Chains A and B, each alone.
Chain A
Amino acid sequence: MSNNSLIKGSLQTIILKLLEENEKMYGYEITQRVKELTGGEIKITEGALYPALHKLEAEGMLTTEIQQVDNRVRKYYSLTQDGQKEVSAKMSEFQRFVGHLQRILDPEWKPGLA
């Protein structure tokens, strides 16, 4: 599924939502979790993931933790308090957007009718 441009605008929401459900995650784990949840339909590229993670970290939404794993160091990301607040805001914003999009694509569609 060629969905890079579709994912671009929702990547931050995806990351925040995943981190809300999982206490802490590392970069590669996020890509794998998205792949697993969508049956491989959505693939987050490394090219987009790390800049997004670093941006969220710089904005104070995420905090990091360094852990020794085997012979290497792993950087875990988790939500800050601001990040936790942002998840709900982003989620409702995203759901509103999906609702509007649905209305555009299918004018007959009414919320609540799946």
Chain B
Amino acid sequence: MRQLTDPELQEIRKSILRKEISSAEILMEIYDHYISHLEEYSLSEFSNQLFELDQKFTYGYCHALQANFKTEAKKDIYQTQWKVIRSYFCTSRWLFLAGVLVIIFLIATQSRSERETQLLVLSPLVLLTITSFIFHWKNYVKLKPIKKAFRGNGIPIQSSLALPISERMHLPVLLIYTANFFLSRLFELPIPYDQIQAPLATLLTAGLILYFLSLMEVWKIKSKTAWV
């Protein structure tokens, strides 16, 4: 086994760039495979071995691998979040759920005006927005070396696992306008504030907080094992 030279590494990167892979996970797995394989061969065999690898990791194969990985990543994030949400209702974590709900309902009972209740509903969305910024920043820092190494093919490199998490963070924030529309209608209705509006707003807040917490847990779980 030998250490590959910089021009050789450059050659490998050029070869992989031609496959136009956008998934950081697939890109790095293939890159590692190429290097691990080529390190076993002498300088004179390098070109032939690189050519052989290119015959195995064809454009079509890499894209099929990437497409499958992206689909599975989406499914994985959905299933993990659903599992986390379900776990809140299990015996081992019911105390956590009860604690969160008690805090939300306590805050809700303190709000005396419609404006305060609206702010209560808005708070999880603000939390999601802030977290989304932190998530994107961390992801940007993690991907920076890869983007630097593989720049030049014009294909944006993204983490396939980070994308579905990011989409899930954006979802409620994107729905803010819709929520705002319905909430403003709700508060305009000639229905008693204390009896219907406030409990509905509290339930919505509780739902959004649980959604936010579950997403944070998914991020925590995935950051241990994947590139997010």
A residues near B, CB below 8 A?
26-29, 45-47, 50-51, 54-55, 57-58, 63-66, 69-75
Contacts and interface: CB of A to CB of B under 8 A. Distances in A.
B102 interface: no
B61 interface: yes
A72 B35 contact: yes
Interface string B21-56: 000010011011101110000000000000000001
Contacts of B65: 50-51, 54
B174 interface: no
Given A28-B33, A72-B28, A72-B35, A65 B225 contact: yes
A27 B68 contact: no
12 contacts: A26-B32, A29-B36, A46-B56, A50-B65, A51-B68, A63-B225, A65-B224, A65-B225, A66-B225, A72-B28, A72-B35, A75-B32
Given A66-B227, A75-B25, A58 B32 contact: no
A60 to B, nearest CB: 9
The 8 closest A-B pairs by CB, nearest first: A28-B36, A58-B72, A73-B28, A46-B56, A28-B33, A74-B32, A64-B225, A75-B29
Contacts of B56: 45-47
Contacts of A70: 35
A69 B32 contact: yes
Interface in B64-118: 64-65, 68-69, 72, 75-76
B31 A72 contact: yes
Contacts of B68: 51, 54
Contacts of A64: 225-226
B57 interface: yes
B86 to A, nearest CB: 15
The DSSP consensus for interface residues of chain B is helix
B222 to A, nearest CB: 10
Contact of B57 (A26, A46, A57, A73): A46
Contacts of B225: 63-66
Contacts of B224: 65
A45 B58 CA distance: 13
A73 B33 contact: no
A27 B35 CA distance: 12
B33 A46 contact: yes
A56 B104 CA distance: 40
B75 A50 contact: no
Given A45-B56, A46-B57, A64-B225, A72 B69 contact: no
